[in-house]
Structure formats: structure tokens, C-alpha cells
């Protein structure tokens, strides 16, 4: 099953800004940016919200063109659409993520997982 995504040309600045104005969605984007290029299972974000609420937030990010969601079996793999966003709005994503990194009021993602450095 393929999920609908806007093309790069269909990504709208007001919609992207509105979507990123939500603390939960901004925390998801910040985490995806840290894991750049690695598709993440939506279960990585269960620290933020219930499954139902998380589905809502991930759908909003996908519909705005901020993320790409791919169905793989019963899982959804989420990636950040950095190339499309950078082409459409140069510097926007980096500015938003830099501001979010300094915001201690944003919810933390992945606090229940252990990360192992290679």
C-alpha cells in the first residue's frame, strides 16, 4: 500500500510552518534530522504520544511534505524529506531545527531507548 505524498512543488510554506508549530511534530522532525538518512519505525516516537495521536501527527507531517512514510509489512518507516524542503525553502529546515535544539520545553524522543555508539 502506497501512501499519498505531495510532490516537491506542492509543498507549501504556510502548511509546513503550521505543521512545525506543534511541539510534538517539531520533536519528531528534530529526531529525524539527528538520524538523517535512516528510515525510522514509527514506534520510535511512542514516548511522545499514544499510537492514535502519533498516527495523527505523522500523517500531518506526511501530508505537509515534511516526511515520507513507507509502509513495510505492518510497519511504517519515516524519513525526513530534507532534499525537497531545502530545494523549496533553502535554510528553513536547518533554522527550525537549530532553534528547536535549544528549546528544553519540547518533548524528548527516544528517552526509553539505549543508544550504542559504534
Tens-place pLDDT, residues 54-113: 899 999 999 999 999 998 888 889 999 999 999 999 999 999 999 888 777 777 776 554
C-alpha cell at 74: 505492518
Is pTM beyond 0.75 here? yes
- Report the alpha-carbon distance of residue 20 to residue 23 in Å, rounded: 7
109, part of any domain:
no
DSSP H or E run through 71: strand 67-72
Tens-place pLDDT, residues 22-71: 999 999 999 999 888 899 988 888 888 888 888 999 999 999 999 999 98
**Residue 47 belongs to domain with CATH number:** 1.10.10.10
107, part of any domain:
no
91 class by beta-carbon count within 10 Å (0-12 exposed, 13-18 middle, 19+ buried): exposed
In 3D space, the residue among 1, 7, 16 whose CA is nearest the CA of residue 93 turns out to be: 16
Number of domains in the chain: 1
Q: Phi and psi of 82, rounded to 5°? A: -60, -45
Domain housing 23? 8-99
34, part of any domain:
yes
Amino acid at each position: 500500500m502506497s501512501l499519498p505524498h505531495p510532490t516537491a512543488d506542492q509543498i507549501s510554506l504556510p502548511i509546513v510552518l503550521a505543521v512545525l508549530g506543534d511541539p510534538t511534530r517539531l520533536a519528531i522532525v528534530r529526531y529525524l534530522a539527528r538520524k538523517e538518512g535512516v528510515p525510522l519505525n514509527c514506534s520510535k516516537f511512542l514516548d511522545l504520544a499514544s499510537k492514535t495521536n502519533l498516527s495523527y501527527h505523522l500523517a500531518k507531517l506526511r501530508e505537509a511534505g515534511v516526511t515520507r512514510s513507507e509502509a513495510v509489512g505492518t510497519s511504517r518507516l519515516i524519513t525526513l524529506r530534507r532534499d525537497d524542503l531545502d530545494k523549496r525553502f533553502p535554510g528553513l529546515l536547518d533554522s527550525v531545527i537549530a532553534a528547536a535544539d535549544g528549546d528544553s520545553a519540547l518533548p524528548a524522543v527516544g528517552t526509553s531507548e539505549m543508544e550504542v555508539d559504534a
